[in-house]
Chain A
Amino acid sequence: MADPKSRPMTTLLLAFTLAASTSAIAQERVLRVISDRTDQGVVRPILEAFEARSGAKVEGVFMDQGLVNRLESRPTEADVVITKDAELLDIAAQRGLLDPLKSAKIRAAVPSEFMDPADRYFVDAYRARIIFYSKARVKPSDLSTYEDLASPKWKGRICLRSGSHDYNLALFGQFFASFGEAKAKAVISGIGSNLARAPKGNDREQARAIYEGKCDVALMNTYYHPMMAAEPTQKAWADAVGVYFPSQAGKGTFIMRSAAGVTKATANRDLALALLEFIVSKEGQQLIVDRTKQYSVRPDVAVHPLMVKLGAEQGLVDGRFKIDFVPLDLMAGKREEVIRFVNEIRFDAER
């Protein structure tokens, strides 16, 4: 039983502890992040590392559907926007939803081609959209360029996710920007008519289809190969496919970019910028490379060892490859053009 004499002391101690904790709670700042990544496992370690160094708490909304619409509806509810598709951030920027960064640290760390010319967002990492092929049924020498996938020799041999998905819209948009409208349309139509089945599922679903013999080649993002290899249930899919970086002898391979920016919310602007500066720091970039298996925008951050192996057969050194770089501002307006075109040719229709 407690000594009655000690009660005032205990009460005082409790009051002090309560006051201290209340004060700590009151002082803890909350940074709000909105992202189209649903798998928090990818972003969370970066946010946790930032929490540890800043003392702030980071709360998130993770939604991969309708992100821009929510941002448009509530422009200041979040402080930071992180997307896996820079095009979405470009749309947000065009709709006036992002604030200029004005950060010397970000400018210094991020190469200019990965910065929005108006300084409203930056690309924090990228991956390539490349050809995955069946090791059993396709020789690497059969592969060459994106345009080649439209040739009749691939009839009924290609698998792809929906033509209306962000990844393919971004890829086809780059076709438009790089090839010109007429050629881009011919290539997209050609790929569409070579599909082995109706576009469905996500990227990993295409690797599984190759493994099951439903098709021979697919267009997928690079990081899926190591990610599948790390999952026991998907390892067989990864083992069944090889990867090929198209057009290395020509203009290069197209990339998908993830990006980050700050909203017009002002209360936590300093914290928001601090998070973005952490993301572009060497430590932050290393975390991104380790967690997402993407390529860093910083030249001084090496390609992940698992990614170095990809394309080695093609003669790529250190995992570096030639990029057909299409600036995002050149993609403006292409997205709508692509949407209309994939609908016109009924790219997603059953076959």
Chain B
Amino acid sequence: MAVPARFEFFLDQSRCIGCKSCVQACSECDTHKGESMIHLEYIDRAHSVQTVPVVCMHCEEPTCAEVCPADAIKRTGDGVVQSARKPRCIACGNCVMACPFGVPELYIDRAIMMKCDLCYDRTSVGKRPMCATVCPSQALFYGTREQLATLRPQSTPVNEFRFGAQRITTRVHVLVPRARPPALVDVTAALDDATQPRAVRLPVLRDAPDPFADVEV
């Protein structure tokens, strides 16, 4: 069985509420051995409740597989980059260091790398992955382009990323505002830019980034 091409994975970080339902559900997926393959972090909890869920982006040319000395990471014909294969993986951690999205994780006790495999046991038989099924904010969305067009008229998907000189195309898409979509997501440029103060800004406070500026202590 293969994952039907019409079903795609879309990530909308602006919807994420940090509840970790995806993290908790991932560990319930049959092939994940009780571990969660999803990373979900606060960007900077001191200044915002913004969280970012990270699933495997399932690259067309996966860096993790390219750097693997044991050829333990396979990309299936339907574009899913699988977790490391047991007899081959030597737990060297090359993939962990190389993945630009920071996805693979080494399990020292089991001497193997495990990562998100798009719930292959589920998606290859037509089900949705566990994380996107349970996600209460649908920041993780698994469906067709037609569904996306109906449900997310203000968003558009992007699947090109740049990390310095490296350009990556992925099976998983990130949703960006339709009004001003970037052609690609330049991750390293975002890191290089002088970062804006991360105080939460809301429309009413456009001129005053701190919503509590007037509050006396």
B and A form one assembly: no
- Which residues of A line the B interface, CB within 8 A? none
